[in-house]
Amino acid sequence: MRTEVSFDVAGTRCAGHLWLPHGQDPVPCVVLCHGFSGTMDRLFDYAEHFADAGFAALVFDYRSFGASEGEPRQVATIAGQLDDLRAAVAFARGHADIDPERIALWGNSLGGAHAVTIGADDPRIAAVVAQIPFNGFPKKVEGRSTTETLRLLGAIGYDALRGALRLRPFYIPMVGAPGTLAVTTTDEAEAHIHTLTGGGETLWRNTIAPRALLTMMTRYHPADAATRLSCPLLVCAAADDRETPVETSRELAERAPRGELRVYPGTHFSFYTDPALRARVGTEQIDFLRTATDQLREKL
């Protein structure tokens, strides 16, 4: 039941895929949003899992990433990605087979921050799942030296300046080995790249314009949005996550009026690479979403 779909954002086409379960009544829908440099094909298995449980599932690429249009490529902006998610929700609400009052948001990493932010501003959202969510950078990233941090900050500033001058972006790798210039440098880099590429053809590219990291460091505060979230929030964190630490994830759950935190064994990348963990987390997320959407249906 998967179909290719698209929707327009400020004159640019966003590409997506929609899963619809069998049935005649309008169904609840989960709108899934990926992380900082991610692409929708890395979320297909999550979408299929939700569809098997009776939900519609919509995945999409942000503008300038993956199958979506937009130039220059591989350039993320926080405001732009939030607009893309709003447009995805509007598309889902306008679909004849989807119940417009039972739409939930699911976000991974930076997508988790976006899900919380949009959910806080949209009282019609039924529930939010934030998986290993971004909520500010840790003061010090384990394994990254001061020199390496300064190199990354220099790349961010240089790319931001080039953006202000409307020059070609200054690209760096998204994932790299320790000691290299990349957004994420980890001993798990090679395995993580293999996961993101699926070992073959993929929409994902290991390159990014790092300018958006400046906004994430200075002006993006998902925890402030969490205080305005009226729907249930499930935060799923990894015990040994050094990219989005448990402490920052806990803040999201604690500040949300109806927030809940669940901590699982592993690192940030275990949510990408560990099939057993993904199956366990996915089952618990489905239970959470089913409870939230069923309760909402009873009220309606």
Q: How many domains does the chain have?
A: 1
CATH of the domain at 36: 3.40.50.1820
Characterize 255-286 residue by residue with b for buried, 16 or more Cβ atoms within 10 angstroms of its Cβ, and e for exposed: bbeebebeebebbbbbbbbbeebbeebbeebb
* Amino acid in position 104: A
For position 195, what pLDDT does the model report?
66
For position 139, what pLDDT does the model report?
72
By residue range, what is the domain housing residue 60? 2-139+221-299
* Amino acid in position 218: T
User: What is the strand order of the sheet 2-9 is part of?
Assistant: 2-9, 12-19, 56-60, 27-33, 98-108, 127-131, 233-238, 259-264
- C-alpha to C-alpha distance for 135 and 19, rounded to whole angstroms: 29
Length, in residues, of the chain: 300
Q: Where is 175: in which H helix or E strand?
A: strand 175-176
In a domain, 250, yes or no: yes
In a domain, 60, yes or no: yes
In a domain, 232, yes or no: yes
For position 202, what pLDDT does the model report?
80
- C-alpha to C-alpha distance for 264 and 281, rounded to whole angstroms: 8
Q: Write down the residue that tokens 């829908």 correspond to.
A: 29
In a domain, 185, yes or no: no
* Amino acid in position 11: G
pLDDT tens digits, 39-76: 999 999 999 999 999 999 999 999 999 999 999 999 99
For position 185, what pLDDT does the model report?
86
pTM of the model: 0.94
For position 194, what pLDDT does the model report?
65
Secondary-structure percent of the chain, ordered helix, strand, coil, rounded to 5: 40, 20, 40
pLDDT tens digits, 74-106: 999 999 999 999 999 999 999 999 999 999 999
In a domain, 106, yes or no: yes
In a domain, 202, yes or no: no
HSE-CB at 214 with a 13 A cutoff on CA atoms is 16
Which ranges of the chain have pLDDT less than 70?
Answer: 140-143, 189-201, 296-300
In a domain, 164, yes or no: no
In a domain, 204, yes or no: no
